[in-house]
Amino acid sequence: MCRIAAAWMFSAALFAQTPGRPATEAEIKAKNFTVLPNGAGLPVGHGDAAQGKIIYEQKCKECHGEHGEGQPGKYPALAGGVGNLTSLKPVKTVGSYWPYATTLFDYVRRAMPYDHPRSLSVDEVYSAAAYVLFLSGIVTETQELNEKTLPQVKMPNRDGFVPDARPDIPAHK
């Protein structure tokens, strides 16, 4: 019983310490990587699938496969499955399931590559996203993606989601 009490007191003392100073508005803004479906929050930059293929081969292929097929049970497929969501075994990939191309940019920028998140430059993120979209036939190899063009990319499943009709959930457009 004494060990439990001592451990509890130690934990309480650790968590009772006051943290450092509050973050400034500038510090918060510098860490805010949020990109909305309409493109708000996208940084200035550009890339295309031809450039993205090089980045993909260097930083993505090991986990997601040469053609975005993934590794079953380990890493998800990124490409394929377009048009099969109503089948008995739908393949949910970026190209078949995700409703917005901007979500791809946001996710890659925050979390990829898996072993070095946030290590890609903005242009590398646009390029890698373009390549993933190219693998599913959504953009061409030379189509430039940037802060203006990426939100205009029409994903195959953009209209496949039902808005949340609960009155306590605000609608986002």
Predicted local distance difference test score (pLDDT) of residue 12:
47
What is the percentage of the chain residues whose pLDDT exceeds 70? 87
Distance CA 129, CA 126 (A): 5
pLDDT at 148: 98
Domain boundaries along the sequence of the chain? 45-152
Which is it for the CA torsion 24, 29, 32, 38, positive or negative?
Answer: positive
Could you tell me the pTM of the whole model? Answer: 0.79
For position 82, what pLDDT does the model report? 87
87-129 pLDDT, tens per residue?
999 999 999 999 999 999 999 999 999 999 999 999 999 999 9
**Cross-strand partners of 100:** 154
Q: Look at 13-22, 29-38, 59-68 and tell me which has the smallest mean pLDDT.
A: 13-22
Amino acid 1: pLDDT: 46
Q: Say what the pLDDT of residue 51 is.
A: 98
Structure confidence at residue 26 as a pLDDT band (50, 70, 90): confident
Check if CATH label 1.10.760.10 holds for domain 45-152: yes
Angstrom distance (rounded) from CA 44 to CA 145: 10
